[in-house]
Amino acid sequence: MHAEYWLNRWQSNDIGFHDGKVNPSLDRYFTNLNLPVSSRVFVPLCGKTVDIHYLLNKDMYVVGVELSELAIRQLFIELALTPKVTKHGLLTAYQAQGICIWVGDVFALTADHLGHIDAIYARGALVALPFAIRNQYAQHIITLSNAAPQLLITCVYDQSQRSGTPYSVPAAEVQGIYAKHYSLNMLSCEKLSQGIKGVTPASIVVWLMNPSP
């Protein structure tokens, strides 16, 4: 999936993937991360998700990364925050009280950019990436965050029935990508009555991943 694809979707406001409501799985399972106030939560490929509003309202410090600068400008407008904008090589940082979003390619992000991370909330990342690069992405995030605990949301359906996002990420793939670094706990697997883009059966799966001892 080329960067231009996502940039063009934001530019043309073709953002059906953006949900104007807090993800119910985040609301239901966030406490499973057992995070104290002011913990640093990393939201990869964040767009302008309103889940960031939720995390800020829980007194978390949010760190994100997003390809589209337009999305992040819209995010800060919707948050009613005026960011400080600074360039850092290939990346641009948008910072305000309690939040720092890095704009650019996630693979250009380094641990020095990111700083210490207490947990990861990943709703729109794996499902936005084609199979060929999901493992590379996951290993990069593990390295960046020193395998911080993660609340991961994926979807599962018969990928042969349609192309494009959100991609199906079956349990076997999640295990294959993460089992070397994490203990995995499937918190829920909820069937979607309307399927995904008309494909049924389909389910939303929520994983809690804690670093292996």
66 is in an annotated binding site: yes
Element (H or E) spanning 211, and its range? Answer: strand 202-211
| Alpha carbon distance 34, 109 (integer Å) | 26
CA distances from 62 to 9, 41, 43, 106, 196 (A): 24, 5, 7, 16, 29
| Alpha carbon distance 141, 119 (integer Å) | 11
CA distances from 10 to 57, 58, 126, 182 (A): 26, 28, 19, 34
73 is in an annotated binding site: no
**Closest C-alpha among 125, 7, 21, 3 to residue 64:** 125
| Alpha carbon distance 201, 158 (integer Å) | 8
Q: What are phi and psi of 87, to 5 degrees?
A: -90, 140
Name the binding residues for S-adenosyl-L-methionine: 10, 45, 66, 123
Name the binding residues: 10, 45, 66, 123
